[in-house]
Amino acid sequence: MTIASSNGSPSLSYSSDKDAKEHQPLSSRPDRSTTHGAESKISHPSSDVSNEALMNSVQTMLAELGEDPEREGLLKTPKRVAEAMRFLTNGYHQSLEDLVNGAIFDEGHDEMVLVRDINLFSLCEHHMLPFMGKAHVAYIPNQKVVGLSKLARIVEMYSRRLQVQERLTRQVAEAIQEILDPQGVAVVVEANHMCMVMRGVQKPGSWTVTSSMVGVFKEDQKVREEFLNLIRHQPSFF
Ligand SMILES: Nc1nc2c(ncn2[C@@H]2O[C@H](COP(=O)(O)OP(=O)(O)OP(=O)(O)O)[C@@H](O)[C@H]2O)c(=O)[nH]1
Ligand SMILES: [Zn+2]
């Protein structure tokens, strides 16, 4: 078994806030952000895309909010916001293949590999407000292992898009399944949604847990429990 920590029914999906209504998982219809093949075909890296239209829309938004876009403090704001939004959504322009960069090793290993506490920052697709938290990613290899950092990079790629937490969780699991064809994959994401904190229902302290279990993690309760215990375990070196 390998455990790494990054500071950086079988499927569960719940919010810790009892007042918050349970959300049904949103539609799982395929779109460009759920199909790996389609992602790698997106051929406009952010550097090639002009920010002009984006900057204009930020300027319009400032004016609509009653601000004066010409005042000194706001002069560079459209540019800053455009660049920030490009960064926060740069996961659209990455492909799984480039990201893994061939770092798949035939180790003959068949015990659980877990990278815990992978920090993530994403934007909810409904409000374009941040949600942030941690992902825990495990798999049981079928001989082949992937470079540990790649698991965190996969989380990063799918986080840097407009997302719903359920889809993000599932995409990470599907990606690992695709690159390694392991015996199983387990992904748990724990996150705090600013759209539920700063506005709307206004429930600071609420957090949402989603999971995606594939293969042995779905079929074998013992394997799943081992994973869930490992992500609850407090490391002794912190
Ligand atoms: N399932 C799921 N829902 C999310 C996620 N992020 C935001 N939401 C929810 O998306 C829903 C959008 O609901 P709407 O009624 O269309 O929008 P709204 O009027 O702004 O909703 P409120 O947030 O309840 O004020 C809200 O319930 C959000 O909490 C997510 O990652 N997963
Ligand atoms: Zn939201």
Q: List the one residue out of 140, 150, 143 whose CA is nearest residue 105.
A: 143
Ligand 2 centroid, distance to 89 Cα (angstroms): 15
Q: Is 193 in the pocket of ligand 1 (CB under 6 A)?
A: yes
Residue nearest to atom 2 of ligand 1 (CA): 164
Ligand that lies nearest to the alpha carbon of residue 208, given by its number in the listed order: 1
Please give the domain boundaries of the chain with CATH numbers for all domains. Answer: 50-91 (1.10.286.10), 101-231 (3.30.1130.10)
Q: Which structure tokens are listed for 142?
A: 């079928």
Question: Distance between alpha carbon 230 and the CA centroid of its chain, in Å?
Answer: 20
pLDDT class of 18 with cuts at 50, 70, 90: very low
Q: What DSSP line would sit under 177-216, residue for residue? A: HHHH--SEEEEEEEEEEGGGTTSTT--TT--EEEEEEEEH
Q: Which structure tokens are listed for 223?
A: 């394997």
Q: Which structure tokens are listed for 53?
A: 């239209």
What is the pLDDT at residue 17? 45
Residues 6+ apart with CB under 8 A from 46: 86, 90, 93
Q: List the one residue out of 177, 37, 160, 35 whose CA is nearest residue 97.
A: 37
- Is 44 marked as a binding-site residue? no
Atom of ligand 1 nearest to the CA of 25: 1
Residues 6+ apart with CB under 8 A from 227: 112, 114, 138, 186, 217
Q: Is 38 in the pocket of ligand 1 (CB under 6 A)?
A: no
Predicted TM-score (pTM) of this structure: 0.83
With pLDDT > 90 as the criterion, what percentage of the chain qualifies? Answer: 75
- 92 neighbors 39 (Cβ within 8 angstroms): yes
User: Per residue in 38-87, pLDDT tens?
Assistant: 333 344 444 445 899 999 999 999 999 999 999 999 999 999 999 999 99
Residue nearest to atom 22 of ligand 1 (CA): 200
| ipTM tops the 0.90 cut | yes
Residue nearest to atom 31 of ligand 1 (CA): 164
- Is 195 marked as a binding-site residue? yes
Please give the Cα distance from 152 to 118 (Å, whole number).
6
What would the mean pLDDT of 202-228 be, rounded to a whole number? 97
Q: What is the DSSP letter of 132?
A: E
* Strand pairing category for 113-124 and 2-5: parallel
